[in-house]
């Protein structure tokens, strides 16, 4: 196991424990069903890439692990809510998520809508809580940046473009814009959050943003490449994209997409030069995303 793989696994375990301790108890009042659904989706596993970015970036600035994990949990709650709502029948209509029944299949549609709403809301309650960081200016900046990245000019904006894209032909620039919003903004803000916690200077914040913004795009391109591979080789099981949605592979072909991912990866790590050895693990992570097989 490489140093990076060990770190990914470790953060994944720590973030599970932190989310578990933050989430409301299952037994709490008449809202039990809601708390069940929130826990079911948030704790179901997943790659925990955003928490990895937040915690690793916070480490550069010597931020306490507890602060970093708390912010990373809030970001992961937002990611979890977005998956619950994406899977709904009116959206991508996916019955399976991470090998398990989607939230609306396990519970029902109303519960899934409300569990998503509650996780999103809870993320901001956690970020604003004094236990996240002693300085309220830091907590406010986290709320503001993470809300911006998740809202109509960020993740949700990308999601509506994705819904509309099923009915229209997008050019490559529009696909890039869509994916920058849908994935890039929250990736970028995960890294930026570590810098905010560490009271980093604006130029350092922007470098980390730039790095993760590019990584978000690489992640999406390699996702499309893995989907294309699975389509060519039916032995590789992989959740299929909702048919009709434009992908990097459908828009530019496999060869070109692979080259583009490589160029973006090299571009992403150049943003890290100012951090020297302290950013080695983020560099390693960039190539891990580029070369991933799953």
Name the residue among 79, 65, 179 with its Cα closest to residue 119: 79
C-beta of 33 vs 262, nearer to a copy of itself: 33
Smallest distance from a copy of itself to CB 32, Å: 9
Smallest gap from residue 199 Cβ to a copy of itself (A): 13
Q: Which range in 2-10, 157-165, 189-197, 237-245 contacts a copy of itself by CB under 8 A?
A: 157-165
Please report the DSSP string for 224-236 in residue order.
HHHHHHHHH-TTS
CA distances from 12 to 5, 18, 159, 226, 290 (A): 10, 10, 26, 23, 20
- Other C-beta atoms closer than 10 Å to the C-beta of 29 total 9
Interaction pattern, residues 75-114, with a copy of itself; x per rule: CB under 8 A: ------x---x--x-xx----------------xxxx-xx
Q: Which among 44-52, 62-70, 127-135, 235-243 is the span making contact with a copy of itself, rule CB under 8 A?
A: 127-135
Backbone dihedral angles phi then psi of residue 44, each to the nearest 5 degrees: -75, 0
Alpha-carbon distance of 14 to 157, in angstroms, equals 31
> Of 191, 239, 242, 247, whose CA–CA distance to 221 is shortest?
247
Burial of 13 (0-12, 13-18, 19+ CB in 10 A): exposed
**Given candidates 118, 200, 218, 289, which one binds a copy of itself under the rule CB under 8 A?**
118
Question: Judged by CB under 8 A, does residue 24 bind a copy of itself?
Answer: yes
Q: Phi first, then psi: what are they for 97, rounded to 5°?
A: -140, 125
Nearer to a copy of itself, 29 or 244 (CB): 29
- Judged by CB, which is closer to a copy of itself: 128, or 226? 128
Q: Tell me how far, at minimum, the Cβ of 53 lies from a copy of itself, in Å.
A: 20
Angle ∠(126,43,238) on CA atoms, nearest 5: 130
Size of the site for a copy of itself (CB under 8 A): 56
How many of the other CB atoms lie within 10 Å of CB of 110?
10
The whole-angstrom separation of Cα 229 and Cα 236 is 8
Output 66 or 109, the one with its CB closest to a copy of itself. 109
- If one asks whether residue 156 binds a copy of itself (CB under 8 A), the answer comes out as yes
Query: Is residue 163 at the binding interface for a copy of itself, with CB under 8 A as the rule?
Result: yes
* Site of interaction with a copy of itself (CB under 8 A): 24, 28-31, 33-35, 38, 81, 85, 88, 90-91, 108-111, 113-114, 116-118, 120-122, 124-125, 127-130, 136-137, 139-141, 143-144, 147-148, 150-153, 156-157, 159-161, 163-164, 174, 177-178, 181
């Amino acid at each position: 196991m490489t140093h990076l793989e060990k770190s990914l696994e470790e953060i994944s375990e720590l973030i599970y424990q932190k989310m578990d301790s933050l989430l409301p108890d299952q037994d709490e009042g008449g809202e039990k069903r809601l708390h069940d659904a929130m826990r079911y989706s948030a704790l179901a596993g997943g790659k925990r890439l955003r928490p990895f970015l937040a915690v690793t970036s916070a480490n550069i600035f010597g931020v306490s692990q507890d602060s970093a994990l708390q912010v990373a949990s809030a970001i992961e709650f937002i990611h979890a809510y977005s998956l619950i709502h994406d899977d709904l029948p009116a959206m991508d209509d996916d019955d399976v998520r991470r090998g398990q029944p989607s939230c609306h299949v396990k519970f029902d549609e109303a519960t899934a809508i409300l569990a998503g709403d509650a996780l999103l809301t809870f993320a901001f309650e956690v970020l604003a809580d004094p236990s996240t960081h002693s300085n309220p200016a830091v907590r406010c900046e986290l709320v503001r940046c993470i809300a911006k990245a998740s809202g109509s000019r960020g993740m949700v904006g990308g999601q509506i473009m994705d819904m509309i894209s099923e009915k229209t032909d997008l050019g490559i620039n529009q696909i890039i814009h869509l994916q920058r919003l849908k994935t890039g903004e929250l990736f970028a803000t995960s890294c930026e959050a570590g810098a905010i916690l560490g009271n980093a200077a604006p130029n350092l914040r922007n470098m980390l943003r730039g790095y993760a913004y590019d990584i978000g795009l690489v992640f999406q391109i390699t996702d499309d490449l893995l989907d294309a591979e699975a389509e060519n080789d039916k032995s590789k099981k992989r959740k299929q994209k909702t048919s009709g949605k434009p992908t990097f592979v459908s828009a530019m072909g496999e060869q070109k997409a692979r080259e583009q991912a490589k160029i973006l990866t090299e571009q992403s790590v150049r943003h890290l030069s100012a951090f020297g050895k302290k950013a080695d693990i983020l560099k390693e992570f960039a190539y891990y995303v580029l070369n991933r097989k799953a």
